[in-house]
């Protein structure tokens, strides 16, 4: 099998909690990301979903080098990026770019679109000789479906969807191999979301891109993802191919999330079971013992408080080859069909 383009092992980000002004003393930690593993193959899209605060953006920031991991490895083509520095690190960083959530705040309002898209060339001048930048920027505008004549306009002259196209053009400027998109359509109108997702799919084929696509909306992630990882309180609790996760979820948390996805067919809607999760997500400064989901899980038993469930194919499915046999961090994993009509739209 080909080597994955990205391999993440035991990724951890703990933010220290300190007390005192002069003599700062660490009194705890915000365990934003607490042991995440995944692989990304060339040309594939891995969707990462989970409720607000579960650590998705922190993972994204570590992948593109905006945050340093507390521990763990991020291997790009087999090389651990977290151990690189200087020129070697810069060369790798060029290949892993980010598209941000909010096109309203992530674009500098005082810069022209041309300067915004060309900004990465300031950090990596080798990617475009000075005299060639303007042409490259116009080409990028065209690639994302915007008029190259707009190059001197400012962000406020564009709609939300157009602004996200500008953000994507900037992400593409250095011709990266991997794009980490952190909720790229969450801030957009529903009618525009599909256009931006379609654009990203087209660009993926055109430029042979691999995507890590982060969202809290399960239906959007399904549309674009080949595989999905479901995060809860800093960890991935279930992962598999999209049909495995959507049609054969075995982790109670995934089942609860899926039961809340809107179903367009009214009859199917009537027959589906909504799983209401009680209580709030615990604080990442105080993660429950054993299974971190147990305080909200309707199936929790004594073992759940004592033993941390590993993210692996559960015992019950180990001999099976069907779609339920995928990694799920639950001691009592079992199938539960929560989306009766199949695909959510
Ligand atoms: N710099 C920081 N210092 C301390 N805690 C932080 C910091 N950045 C994030 N956190 C905390 O880490 C946890 C994970 O945050 P993160 O932004 O990664 O979540 P998220 O899944 O992206 O959420 P959302 O869906 O709201 O974007 C949260 O509890 C957040 O408050
Ligand atoms: S291990 Fe226990 S608490 Fe955790 S998801 Fe499974 S049944 Fe629920
Ligand atoms: Mg986030």
- Are the beta carbons of 245 and 228 closer than 8 angstroms? yes
CA distance 304 to 291: 5
- For residue 331, the ligand 2 atom closest to its alpha carbon is 1
Q: Is the CB of 239 under 6 A from ligand 1?
A: no
Q: Tell me the DSSP string of 230-299.
A: EEETTEEEEEEEHHHHHHS--SHHHHHHHHTS--S-HHHHHHSPP-PPPSPPPPTTSPPSSSTTGGG-TT
Of the listed ligands, the closest to the CA of 293 is 2
- How far, in Å, from the CA of 48 to the mean position of ligand 1? 15
Residue 183 CB burial class (10 angstroms; 0-12, 13-18, ≥19)? buried
Domain boundary residue, one of 171, 191, 225: 225
Question: Which structure tokens are listed for 231?
Answer: 């995060």
- How far, in Å, from the CA of 294 to the mean position of ligand 2? 6
Residue 127 CB burial class (10 angstroms; 0-12, 13-18, ≥19)? middle
Q: Show the domain range for 57.
A: 41-69+81-225
Q: What is the CATH number of the domain that holds 85?
A: 3.40.50.300
- Domain membership of residue 154 (yes or no) is yes
Residue in 297, 298, 306, 335 to alter for ligand 2 test, most ligand atoms within 8 A of Cβ: 297
CA distance 17 to 285: 9
- Are the beta carbons of 228 and 239 closer than 8 angstroms? yes
**80 beta partners:** 75
172 with 296, same domain: the answer is no
105 with 205, same domain: the answer is yes
- How far, in Å, from the CA of 306 to the mean position of ligand 2? 11
Tens of pLDDT along the chain (345 residues) come to 567 999 999 999 999 998 888 888 888 999 999 999 999 999 999 999 999 999 999 999 999 999 999 999 999 999 999 998 888 888 899 999 999 987 778 889 999 999 999 999 988 988 888 888 999 999 999 999 999 999 999 999 999 999 999 999 999 999 999 999 999 998 888 889 999 999 999 999 999 999 999 998 788 888 899 999 999 999 999 999 999 999 999 999 999 999 988 777 777 777 777 888 888 899 999 999 999 999 999 999 999 999 999 999 998 888 888 899 999 999 999 998 776 654 444
CA distance 4 to 102: 29
Using a cut of 0.85, tell me whether the model's pTM lies above it.
Answer: yes
Q: Is the CB of 101 under 6 A from ligand 1?
A: no
128 with 272, same domain: the answer is no
88 with 215, same domain: the answer is yes
- How far, in Å, from the CA of 33 to the mean position of ligand 1? 9
Domain boundary residue, one of 225, 260, 292: 225
Give a three-class secondary structure readout of 194-233. HHHHHHHHHHHHHHCCEEEEEECCHHHHHHHCCEEEEEEC
Total domain count, the chain: 2
- Are the beta carbons of 113 and 155 closer than 8 angstroms? yes
Residue in 36, 58, 217 to alter for ligand 1 test, most ligand atoms within 8 A of Cβ: 58
- Domain membership of residue 3 (yes or no) is no
199 with 52, same domain: the answer is yes
């Amino acid at each position: 099998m080909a080597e994955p383009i990205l391999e993440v092992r035991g990724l951890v980000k703990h933010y220290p909690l300190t007390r005192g002004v002069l003599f700062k003393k660490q009194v705890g930690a915000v365990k934003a990301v607490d042991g995440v593993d995944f692989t990304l193959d060339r040309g594939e899209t891995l969707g990462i979903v989970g409720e607000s605060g579960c650590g998705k953006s922190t993972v994204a920031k570590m992948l593109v080098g905006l945050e340093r991991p507390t521990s763990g490895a991020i291997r790009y083509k087999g090389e651990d990026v977290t151990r690189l520095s200087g020129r070697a690190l810069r060369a790798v960083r060029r290949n892993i770019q980010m598209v941000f959530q909010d096109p309203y705040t992530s674009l500098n309002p005082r810069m022209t679109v041309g300067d915004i898209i060309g900004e990465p060339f300031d950090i990596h001048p080798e990617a475009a000789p000075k005299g060639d930048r303007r042409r490259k920027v116009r080409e990028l505008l065209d690639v994302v479906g915007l008029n190259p004549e707009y190059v001197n306009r400012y962000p406020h002259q564009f709609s939300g969807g157009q602004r996200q196209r500008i953000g994507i053009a900037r992400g593409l400027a250095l011709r990266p191999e991997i794009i980490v998109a952190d909720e790229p359509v969450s801030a957009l109108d529903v009618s525009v979301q599909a256009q931006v997702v379609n654009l990203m799919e087209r660009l993926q084929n055109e430029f042979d891109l691999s995507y890590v696509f982060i969202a809290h909306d399960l239906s959007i992630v399904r549309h674009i993802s080949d595989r999905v990882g479901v995060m809860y309180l800093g960890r991935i609790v279930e992962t598999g191919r999209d049909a495995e996760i959507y049609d054969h979820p075995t982790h109670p948390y995934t089942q609860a999330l899926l039961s809340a996805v809107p179903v367009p067919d009214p009859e199917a809607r009537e027959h589906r079971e909504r799983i209401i999760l009680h209580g709030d997500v615990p604080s990442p400064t105080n993660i429950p013992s054993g299974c971190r989901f147990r305080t909200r899980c309707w199936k929790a038993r004594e073992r759940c408080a004592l033993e941390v469930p590993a993210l692996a194919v559960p015992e019950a499915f180990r001999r099976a080859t069907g779609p339920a046999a995928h990694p799920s961090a639950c001691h009592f994993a079992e199938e539960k069909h929560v989306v009766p009509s199949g695909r959510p739209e």
